[in-house]
Every structure is written in structure tokens, then in C-alpha cells.
A = this chain, B = another copy of it.
Amino acid sequence: MSLPADFPSAGESARVEDDIIKRIAAILGRGPIPRGERHIGDDAAVLAPFVGQALISTDVAVLGVHLDESLFPLEDLGFKAVASAVSDLAAMGGRPKGAVIAVSSPPGTDLEELHRGIADAAVITSCPIVGGDLTRSRDVSVAVTVFGECPGKGAVLRSGARPGEKILVSGPLGRSAAGLRRRRAGASLTDELVVAHRRPWPRLAEGVAARGAGASAMMDLSDGLGLDLNRLADASNVGFALDDIPVAEGATLQEAISGGEDYELLIVTPHLERLRMIFTDRGLRQPIEIGRTVSDVGSRTLRGEKFERLGWQHQL
């Protein structure tokens, strides 16, 4: 954890900043540090050698853009930023090794509250926060970079789907968007769908299971099925034929398609039975089959009708 380069290089303010960093480090440093590793406190964090391929992803969340501060506590911004980044590792079938956090904020921001949300997400995803940076800006912004490893078989890319394979999602869709709608209408912070919006759960176990079961392509649904499935199809150079969209209880079809932030996994596989068996063996909820890939890259349908990428929300 280092100070910004042009922070006053001497004087009381620098000592205050060092003190803030110590308090934040105490909030983040909940677990034991493995022997030979070095986390917060040096120029860079030092981690034990990775097993297999290294995976890296970065996500930035801005207060007012990614979280409405009139509806949600600041700690939710930290939680969501970490969960969103870890979900990118889940989407490759990887497991997290750690994360670093760069926070920009105006004076007076409750950095301890923000970092409590970061720490909560780090604990539930087993992803220790190993370093960070603090600087000033007008907006509160949290940039999270996660890194993970992919032992055994390689990471599952977006681009590996072939025609004639099954398309599945790891759970029903639209919970996050429905939760946001309910919160705007006055639902409490502990309402089940509101919690789904505030505390998204990266599907790490499901991603590892799908990779082990020979999934050909995978991604996480961060921007909604309507956009993300088209991106996967673009990357894999296939079309698709959807039979159904699994709408979560309490959500609308539009929320399920274009709501985003569900962080369920979109899985394509030629080995459906193996996938089902491995999920059952591991005690994971069965993924839901929604359709199949087709060879005509321009053919993208839901129950035989065109499934538009553009203007989808307005056509519902």
C-alpha cells in the first residue's frame, strides 16, 4: 500500500494518511498471511507461486454511477466492486488468489465503511486483499484488480463455443434489477431481492465445476443476457436458438434479459450429462438449460423470433 506520488511529502498530513492506511489494513487483514507471502505494507505484494495459468481482471465502481448513495450504504460499493471482479475469475473457471484495491475519494469520505464492504466480499470469496492505493478525487471510486489461478485444464474462454452445443445459466435471472426496483419503491435493505442487488455472489464453485466438466465457453452475466450472450456468440462465431429465459421470482422478463449485475454464469457445453452429474456430485444447484448454439452466426433467436442486441429494452 503506497501513498500517491504527490501527496505532501512531509508534514502532519502524511502521518495522518499513514494512520488511515494502518486502520484500513486492520479492517482488511482478517486472515493469516501464508508463510513467505507479504501483503499490505511494501512497494508490491509478494505471493507464493501460482499453480497453472494466471488470471487477471480489473473492475472499477464509481459512487453515483454504480451505486445510488441515497438508497444504499457506502459499504455496498466496496462489496459490489470486489464481487464483480471476482465473478470474472469465476467466469473463466479460476479460483482467486488475491486482490488489490485502488480507492479515489474526496476528503471526508468514510473510508473505513467502504473498506468494511470490501473486506466482507473478500471473506466470502476467499480472496484476500493484499495491497492498495489511496488518492483524492471528486468522486468515490473503487478499482479492484483480482488475480487467480487455473490449475489443471486451462481457463474457459468466451470464444470456445461450437455449433450444436447446449447453452445454460447457473440460476434464474433478474434478481439484481428487481432488487434495485424494489429498493427505489421503498423496500428495506434486508429485503431478499434488495440483498441480491447489494451483495451479489460470484459463482466460483459453479465455474470450477463447469470447467472440470468440459464446458466449451463461459462468461458471467454482468450486463444482462441480452448483451452478454451476443458477446459470447460474437467471440465464438456462432448463432443461438433460445427456448426460454428463466425469470427469477419477483423479477420481470425485461429485468431477466437486460437487468445486468446478476453475476450468474452463462455456460456452453457439448457435455450436458457430465455437467449435470458434476454439479450434482458437488451439491451445486443444477444449471438451467436455455437453448443451443447454431452454426449460422447471424441467427440469434428466442422461441423462433429474432433476439435483438440493439434496442432490446425498447422492443419488450
Contact = CB atoms under 8 A, between A and B. Distances in A.
Interface string A125-151: 000001111011111010101111010
A2 B227 CA distance: 12
Interface string A36-62: 101001111111111111111111111
Chain copies in complex: 2
Contact of A60 (B57, B102, B154, B260): B102
Contact of A58 (B65, B84, B101, B159): B101
A93 B49 CA distance: 16
Interface in A60-99: 60-62, 65-66, 80, 84, 87-89, 91-92, 94, 97-98
A131 B60 CA distance: 13
A288 interface: no
B58 A10 contact: no
Contacts of A43: 57, 87-89, 91-92, 158, 219-220
Interface residues of A, number: 94
A6 interface: yes
Nearest to A39: B56
Contact of A310 (B10, B146, B311): B10
A221 to B, nearest CB: 10
Contact of A311 (B10, B57, B219): B10
B100 A56 contact: yes
B6 A227 contact: no
Interface in A1-37: 2-12, 14-15, 36
B92 A56 contact: no
Contacts of A139: 104, 137-139, 141
A261 to B, nearest CB: 5
